[in-house]
């Protein structure tokens, strides 16, 4: 229902210079409701903008006469070597952007060698996505108000091969989405765009977000699954300390792409205090507002182990399905590689704090 027209296959695919070109095309191809759902934020969308704009207050200190003829973008994360540090953030209801939804994104992620995180509220189930794409997925969890149901969600994710559970901690309730909010309620109740992971296991009256969630959930998850536990949505030093105390395996500095609480700081502004608190003990990832290779470079320089991207790959999905996601990933990785060459850092480990200055 989100797609009103699809581009004529015979038509030449335009030359996309950057992810904004994909955004523009997705805006022409998708229906208004899908555009609002994808691009909208909470209240006046100030945090959405802050996430993007804050990267402009960080500048790069490039080094010269360093051999950058070969670049390695490899990173080690949770016992696995990833080809590159650009991960697909969990985004719900991807069928709203393109009929092939999460399957198209997962196939693109496999082809282009990016890690993908499947949302609890994906349209295709995590099992369908894994089977059809052969992707090695991570699962994002919204614990329901019924722990028996949550257990079944975890079982489904583990059966689909997920080794990492990304627990989203910024959604005790849904944010005030004035743009696209009614659409979200419609999506949750939609008969056409089903939430694949909940098929047959969600009794009437079970909430898909739990406002009663507290730090004890980490021990409960440990007792009920074998996945690594990563907290997504940490924005303060205090909570970074608690994440360590309660034994999380990693954190993602995130404000849900500005879709939850308005007036939060940009995520890149939150990163330094969190990196300082974590002090290398567990990986710290970040998402929100990343649109350019230089943004990725800056986040890595400020101590992120990897970054996640939400809207940019969805613009590709909305514009052209799997091919559009591939283009988005190619653009971002291509930019990162070129920026590493221009800045004088031949591998991800070499992108240290000295490469950036905050103004």
* Contact assessment for residue 151 and residue 123, using Cβ atoms and an 8 Å cutoff: no
Least distance in Å: CB of 64 to ligand FNR?
A: 32
Residue 111 main-chain phi, psi, to 5 deg? -60, -40
Per annotation, catalytic residue among 256, 292, 298, 333: 256
- The nearest distance, CB 95 to ligand FNR, in angstroms, is 12
Mark 13-52 with x for binding to ligand FNR (rule: CB under 6 A) and - for no binding.
------------------------xx------------x-
115 lies in the site for ligand FNR, by CB under 6 A? no
Contact 38, 259 (CB under 8 A): no
Q: Residue ranges of the alpha helices (H) in the chain? A: 19-29, 32-39, 46-53, 101-111, 126-133, 147-159, 181-188, 216-224, 237-245, 267-278, 293-301, 311-320, 322-343
* Interhelix angle 322-343/311-320, nearest 10 degrees: 140
Nearest-approach distance from CB 268 to ligand FNR, in angstroms: 11
* Cβ-proximal residue to ligand FNR, closest one: 310
Q: Which of 2, 92, 293, 303 binds ligand FNR (CB under 6 A)?
A: 92
Q: How big is the site for ligand FNR, counted in residues (CB under 6 A)? A: 23
What residue has token string 């583990």?
A: 158
Q: Is 114 a catalytic residue?
A: no
Among 257, 318, 321, 344, contact with ligand FNR (rule: CB under 6 A): 257
Q: Does the protein bind ligand FNR through residue 321 (CB under 6 A)? A: no
Of residues 123 and 133, the one with the C-beta less far from ligand FNR = 123
Candidates 27-35, 70-78, 281-289, 338-346; binding stretch for ligand FNR (CB under 6 A):
281-289
In this chain, which stretch among 89-97, 149-157, 189-197, 347-355 interacts with ligand FNR, using CB under 6 A?
89-97
Residue 334 labeled ligand binder: no
Euclidean distance between CA atoms 92 and 88, whole angstroms: 12
Structure tokens at 140: 């994002």
Closer to ligand FNR by CB, 309 or 356: give it.
309
Q: Are 26 and 94 in contact (CB under 8 A)?
A: no
To 10 degrees, what angle do helices 101-111 and 126-133 make? 40
| Closest alpha carbon to 284 in 226, 225, 233, 217 | 233
Query: What x/- string results for residues 284 through 313 when contact with ligand FNR is judged by CB under 6 A?
Result: ---xxxx------------------xxx--
The torsion region of residue 261 among left (phi > 0), alpha (psi -120 to 50) and beta comes to beta
Residue ranges for the known binding site for FMN are 90-92, 119, 140, 168, 232, 254, 287-291, 310-311
Annotated binding site for glyoxylate: 37, 142, 177, 256, 259
């Amino acid at each position: 229902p989100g797609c009103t027209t699809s581009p004529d296959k015979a038509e030449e695919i335009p030359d996309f210079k950057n992810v904004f070109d994909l955004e523009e095309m997705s805006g022409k191809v998708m229906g208004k409701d899908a555009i609002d759902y994808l691009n909208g934020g909470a209240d006046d969308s100030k945090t959405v903008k802050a996430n993007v704009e804050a990267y402009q207050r960080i500048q790069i200190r490039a080094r010269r006469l360093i051999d950058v003829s070969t670049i390695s973008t490899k990173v080690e994360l949770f016992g696995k070597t990833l080809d590159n540090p650009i991960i697909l953030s969990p985004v719900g209801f991807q069928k709203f952007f393109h009929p092939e939804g999460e399957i198209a994104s997962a196939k693109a992620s496999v082809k282009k060698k990016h890690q993908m995180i499947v949302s609890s509220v994906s349209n295709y189930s995590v099992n369908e996505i894994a089977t059809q794409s052969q992707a090695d997925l991570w699962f994002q969890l919204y614990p329901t108000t019924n722990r028996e149901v949550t257990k079944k969600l975890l079982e489904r994710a583990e059966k689909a091969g997920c080794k990492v559970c990304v627990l989203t901690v910024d959604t005790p309730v849904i944010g005030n989405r004035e743009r696209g909010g009614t659409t979200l309620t419609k999506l949750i109740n939609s008969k056409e765009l089903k939430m694949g992971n909940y098929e047959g296991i969600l009794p009437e009256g079970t909430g898909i977000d739990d406002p009663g969630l507290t730090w004890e959930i980490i021990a409960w998850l440990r007792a009920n699954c074998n996945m690594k536990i990563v907290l997504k949505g940490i924005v303060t030093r205090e909570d970074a300390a608690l994440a360590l105390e309660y034994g999380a395996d990693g954190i993602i500095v995130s404000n849900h792409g500005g879709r939850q609480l308005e007036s939060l700081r940009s995520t890149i502004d939150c990163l330094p205090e969190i990196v300082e608190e974590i002090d290398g003990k567990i990986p710290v990832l970040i998402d929100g507002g990343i649109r350019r290779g230089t943004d990725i470079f800056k986040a890595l320089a400020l101590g992120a182990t990897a970054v996640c991207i939400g809207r940019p790959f969805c613009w590709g999905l909305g514009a052209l399905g799997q091919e559009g996601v591939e283009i988005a990933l190619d653009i971002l990785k291509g930019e990162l590689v070129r920026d590493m060459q221009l800045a004088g850092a031949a591998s991800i480990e070499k992108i240290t704090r000295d490469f950036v200055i905050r103004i």
